[in-house]
C-alpha cells in the first residue's frame, strides 16, 4: 500500500515505514503529525484518486529530526568584466517517518 501525499508544498510517494526528507515542518522532534492532503491511494491494485484530494484519507507520521541539507554553491561571473560572486545556501529540512496510511 502506498499513497501520494502533499507535504509542505511538495508531493511524495510514501509507504508505511518510509523515512523521507521534506522542507522544515513546524513541530518538535518525536512529535506526531498528520497529513490530510492525500492525492492518491493504491492498495494492491485498488487505486483511488482524489479530485484533488481524497476525503477522509490521512497519513500519520512522526518527526524524526530537524537538519540542514548539503550546501549548494551559487557562482556568478561576467566574462571580461572582473565580476565574480560566490554564495552558498543550506536548506532547512525535516526527516519524517511514515507511521500509518488510512483511507
Give the pLDDT confidence of 12-70 residue by residue, as tens digits: 999 999 999 999 999 999 999 999 999 999 999 899 999 999 999 999 999 999 999 99
What is the bridge-based pairing of β-strands 19-23 and 46-49?
A: unpaired
What distances in angstroms separate CA 81 from CA 16, 73, 77, one per listed residue?
A: 55, 21, 9
Q: Is 81 left (phi over 0), alpha (psi -120 to 50) or beta?
A: alpha
| Domain boundary assignment for the chain | 2-102
- Whether the model pTM is above 0.85: no
- Binning pLDDT at 50, 70 and 90, where does residue 103 land? confident
The C-alpha cell of 14 is what?
510514501
Amino acid at each position: 500500500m502506498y499513497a501520494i501525499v502533499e507535504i509542505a508544498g511538495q508531493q511524495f510517494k510514501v509507504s508505511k515505514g518510509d523515512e523521507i526528507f521534506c522542507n522544515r515542518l513546524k513541530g518538535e522532534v518525536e512529535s506526531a503529525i498528520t497529513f490530510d492532503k492525500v492525492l492518491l491511494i493504491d492498495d494492491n491494485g485498488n487505486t483511488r484518486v482524489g479530485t484533488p484530494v481524497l476525503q477522509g484519507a490521512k497519513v500519520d507520521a512522526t518527526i524524526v529530526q530537524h537538519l540542514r541539507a548539503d550546501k549548494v554553491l551559487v557562482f556568478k561571473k561576467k566574462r571580461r568584466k572582473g565580476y565574480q560572486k560566490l554564495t552558498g545556501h543550506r536548506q532547512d529540512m525535516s526527516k519524517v517517518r511514515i507511521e500509518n496510511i488510512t483511507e
